Amino acid sequence: MGQMIELVSTSISGLYQLKPKLIKDERGYFFRYYCKKELKGVCKGTEFVQGNQTLTRAKGAVRGLHFQKPPHAEDKLVRCLAGRVFDVAVDLRTGSSTFLSWFGCELNSEAHNMLYIPRGFAHGFQTLEENCTMLYLHSEYYSSDSEAGVHINDSRLKISWPLPVSQLSDRDQTFGPLTDDFGGLAV
């Protein structure tokens, strides 16, 4: 079968879009969502230990920007199973040449594309239509003590959300902007 997952570099080191090769026939299609062997250069020994799924009903809703602080910082592999979302990853890594830069792309159920987000990034998404389902693989277990976030409209980040924000959870509303003395995450 050869290489089943195409890796597409982004403007931020270590952050990749993944585009699976679809094998189609009269029954439908098959594609490989994850292959440790094919992604070993990207994932660098990452073992995914937890999977989560979300359904977001309202168009324009935002979930994020979430991350876990060390020692529970996590790599994520995210995919949109239904609908379309604008997916965002923000580089919070101490010493990174792209510190506080963000990358956004559309993930959708038609393209089957994914985003590999290494530890040290905040992550969030905005739904571009109603009833969007997202699947996440995590390299660390959830830790409430390590849970953190950044407000989606942080003026230092200047994220260009494609739609007016229609919903934001109470928890996500409580996240503040990054402070001036924020030096990043040492991961």
Mean pLDDT, the chain, integer: 94
The backbone torsions φ and ψ at residue 174, rounded to the nearest 5 degrees and listed phi first, read -80, -15
Question: Which of these is catalytic: 33, 34, 136, 151?
Answer: 136
What pTM value is reported for the model?
0.95
Centroid of chain to Cα 181? 25
pLDDT band at 171 (very low <50, low <70, confident <90, very high): very high
Residue range 16-28: mean pLDDT, rounded: 93
C-alpha distances out from residue 136 to 49, 50, 52, 115, 166, Å: 11, 8, 5, 10, 23
Give me the numbers of helices (H) and strands (E) for the chain, helices first please: 2, 13
Residue 183 predicted with pLDDT over 70: yes
Residue 33 near residue 114, CB atoms below 8 Å: yes
**Could you tell me the domains of the chain?**
47-174 (2.60.120.10)
Question: Which of these is catalytic: 16, 66, 123, 138?
Answer: 66
- Close Cβ partners of 68 (under 8 Å, ≥ 6 residues apart): 74, 140, 142, 143, 146, 147, 148
Catalytic residue flag (residue 66): yes
Position 1 scores a pLDDT of: 60
Give the tens place of pLDDT for each residue, 134-164: 999 999 999 999 999 999 999 999 999 999 9
The number of C-alpha atoms within 13 Å of 134 and in the hemisphere containing its C-beta is 28
With pLDDT > 70 as the criterion, what percentage of the chain qualifies? 99
Catalytic residue flag (residue 136): yes
Give the tens place of pLDDT for each residue, 38-88: 787 777 778 899 999 999 999 999 999 999 999 999 999 999 999 999 999
Residue 100's CB: how many other CB atoms inside 10 A? 17
Residue range 30-35: mean pLDDT, rounded: 85
